């Protein structure tokens, strides 16, 4: 299994058959650089992004539909974008952790989740397993 984090933003866009545009590359790189997930607001206010907010929104949709990023809600309900940890169909279902104090998010990709079998006629479009609590840094500061 090839891990997405081993490739450059430009390589990932090409591999996903997406046109390599300046803003897709910038946004994907920002997401890749932020291990705890990054919000639309943080992306739009980034010094690296000076494009229009509609351009940002469309680029995020393209990255998500191409399977490069995943959109998750943190402990506050805010949407965060994170790099998927593996390519396409080999992306295994894994939980995420959201800290209720600092709002960081972490992939718990070493934890296997059971396969969910849906009833006939049902179609899975997204599955999310999110663990809320205190990250090690926030937990230590409260001790």
Q: State yes or no: pLDDT of 20 exceeds 70.
A: yes
Q: What is the number of domains present in the chain?
A: 1
Q: Which domain holds residue 101?
A: 4-142
**Averaged pLDDT, 79-86:** 80
Q: What is the DSSP letter of 58?
A: H
| pLDDT at site 107 | 81
Query: Sheet holding 79-83: strands in order across?
Result: 38-39, 79-83, 69-73
Q: Residues of the chain with pLDDT > 70: what percent? A: 91
Query: What mean pLDDT value characterizes the chain?
Result: 84
- The reply to whether 99 sits in an annotated binding site is yes
Tell me what the mean pLDDT of segment 18-22 comes to. 93
Q: Which residues pair with 39 in a beta bridge?
A: 80
pLDDT category at 90 given cuts 50, 70, 90 is: very low
What CATH number does the domain containing 15 carry?
Answer: 1.10.10.10
Residue 4: which pLDDT band, with cuts at 50, 70 and 90? low
**Can you tell me the mean pLDDT for 18-46?**
89
Q: Is 129 marked as binding a ligand?
A: no
């Amino acid at each position: 299994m090839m891990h997405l984090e081993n490739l450059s933003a430009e390589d990932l866009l090409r591999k996903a058959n997406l046109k390599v545009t300046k803003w897709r590359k910038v946004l994907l790189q920002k997401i890749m650089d932020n291990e705890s997930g990054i919000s639309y607001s943080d992306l739009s206010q980034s010094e690296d992004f000076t494009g229009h907010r509609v351009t940002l929104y469309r680029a995020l949709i393209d990255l998500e539909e191409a399977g490069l990023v995943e959109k998750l809600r943190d402990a506050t309900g805010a949407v965060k974008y994170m790099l998927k940890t593996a390519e396409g169909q080999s992306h295994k279902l894994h939980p995420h952790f959201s800290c209720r104090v600092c709002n960081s998010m972490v992939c718990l990709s070493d934890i296997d989740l059971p396969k969910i079998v849906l009833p006939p006629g049902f179609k899975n479009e997204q599955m999310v397993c999110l663990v809320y609590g205190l990250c090690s840094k926030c937990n230590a500061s409260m001790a």
